[in-house]
Structure 1
Amino acid sequence: MRIEKRFRHTLLALALASPVTFATQLQPLPASAASARPIGVIDQVFAFHDAMPTGVTVSETGRIFVNFPRWGDAVPFTVGEIRDGRVQPYPNAAINTEDPDDPAKGFISVQSVVADGMGRIWVLDTAAPEFATPRPGGAKLVAIDLASNRVVKTLVFPPEVILPTTYVNDMRFDFRVGKQGTVYVTDSSVSGPGGIIVMDIASGKASRRLSGAAQTSVDPDFVPVVEGRPALLTKGTDGKPKALGVASDGIALSADGKDLYFSPLSSRHLYAVSTALLRDPAVSEAQLQAAVRNLGEKGASDGLEADAEGAVYATDYEHNGIRKRLPDGTWQTIVHDPRVLWPDTLSIGPDGYLYFTANQLHRSPGFNGGQDLRSKPYSLLRVKIDAAPAPTH
């Protein structure tokens, strides 16, 4: 005991007596020092040097479509197709312009595009530039035939499902139920209740389910940390920074169509609910909420996707990655890379690759006191998963 005590006193005396000696021995950490290992081999499919993209979808023939919501960037067209080495307005430039006389016609601000596996892509128009109140009659789904590149169907959301706070975000289709199929859409409101909109494609009738439920709502204790710092901070009513709350956002449909997976952006939990219960008007909201399954933490996600083998994929924007949930509930990290700055939307192509956008959302001016910290280009990336997309029919 005396020897140990004397030794500690000697070390303390040396440290106090010669601080300069210790300081002069410090060296910069060499580049060869051990560091985190990346996971997954990612390819850059396309680099965006102009507006920031959010959504991506890959058709069954390999055509790639992207969208650019009108959040503040100069957005000449809000839906585009990547072809001939550049992004071109899709299906044409004219439809990418808002029609002030008829908000159901032109694209106002598109948040998501999804290929349906039936020869079409669907465009989800929020009609809410910069998260404003949706233009009356403007929030809609537009189907475009890929063979003719022409609009073949427009579904305007009924006013009873579009609240003043609604921000429709992502969608999934199932053509096994309903005369022409069913579509599920998330409301990822930043100021009101989240929820899931269920629409019958043939009739256009729609209902809000799980509206304001705990599972579709912001986790009140959630503060995302991206690049080592609290992210998505805006000014509160008291002028102090607060975390932006984004409700139900990512969505995925199981391969058999029986379960819908979803997650608020401001949460780390994955939820699942029976699609039969979602579609059944006789099931009360209380019964539906009780039937939602909490599948545990998966990390904080923006986009979700499912494959034909029963796996679910989730972006992990806090850790620059993508995770995969196996059918037995086990999670794997399939992408972890410092270049994957805010992975957003996921889409599985016919080539066995998982495509995703990395758009640096957390560096946007709205979350950094008006200062734009994004560094162009933004990226469309892919990683090989050797899986097919979940079937829709």
Structure 2
Amino acid sequence: MAEQKIGIIMNGVTGRMGTNQHLIRSIVAIREQGGVSLANGDKLIPDPILVGRNSNKLEALAKTYNIERWSTDLDEAMKDSFNQIYFDSQTTVRRAEGIRQAIKAGKHIYCEKPTATSVEESLELAKLARDAGVKNGVVQDKLFLPGLLKLKRLIDAGFFGKILSVRMEFGYWVFEGDWQEGQRPSWNYREEDGGGIIVDMFAHWRYVIDNLFGPIRTVSCLGATHISERIDEQGEKYQCTADDAAYGTFELDGGIVVQANSSWAVRVNRDDLLTIQVDGTEGSAVAGLRDCKTQHRVNTPKPVWNPDIENPHDFQAQWEEVPDNQFFDNGFKVQWELFLKHIVEDQPFEWDLLEGAKGTQLSDLGLQSWKERRWLDVPELKI
């Protein structure tokens, strides 16, 4: 058994998602487990160079997690032929520029979504990568959540019969920053900085819906800015110019109706921050981030509407948990391992920049639907 090292430029890892999910729980975790096992028995060891604008943050991260390389000079990192992969988890408005530079330098691309601020720019990036012959992938982490993997298991087993409808509830209360510090960055609430929950979450809903339930054919969306004023990281008051809630309806192939509510201004009274209820002719299921519960047709209770008496049903107790039956690793880490094998062994990896562009397309259509107050078709994307 031999070790192979692969250089990865990690741009934007000083942000919350870049630090926690991509650096600590993915790349550092892969290094600590001894690398990724390859088909020939070798171990592939990620060797990242942390890149960003704040040298103090980069140096501190590198020291804390035993990373040897860091730099504020992206150009120099791009020139180094040892670095085969460029990863980008910057804010959305900066991402396209970094990806273009990396494609020009011949680097393979792996990035967060949204891949760009418009579907036209997202498609341009996909075409540039294809024409340059560089491999590329987009983070689609929710497909690897334990709850959604259990839901996929049910779908593949035919548990639901004919799927009729899907209801997705996502969100939580993000503090305004006055009496409690906000738990999301302030740029999320400024349209001019690439913020907004439609831009953020519709990219997720696109790949979740497409991969689990089928292609989206039409969309209707109503957005809202429920909280108009917040306090930023410097303690300064600012006006919220981006949407913090979105109420979407999607029609899929076969007539499946999906309702997806997303909000950073909602208090949680459900099993998890994200719940997905699927109702079918033979049974129903509710999936969260890690758990999934079912109710089969033969176990469905028969409630009768009668507000004059106390409710005789304990509805929550009438559902059955889907067992784990396997080990579930961190979803970001799992997809990183698949992408690394894609680069080194040419293993299949279907979540490319074109798939990322589909997410941006749905975000654009959601914003347009809100503005024009009408249903819109979702055309097929090609490059």
**TM-score above 0.5, yes or no:** no
Larger CA Rg, structure 1 vs 2: 1
Ranked by relative contact order (alpha carbons within 8 Å, sequence separation 6 or more), the top structure is: 2
What TM-score, normalized by structure 2, do the two folds share?
0.30
What TM-score, normalized by structure 1, do the two folds share?
0.29
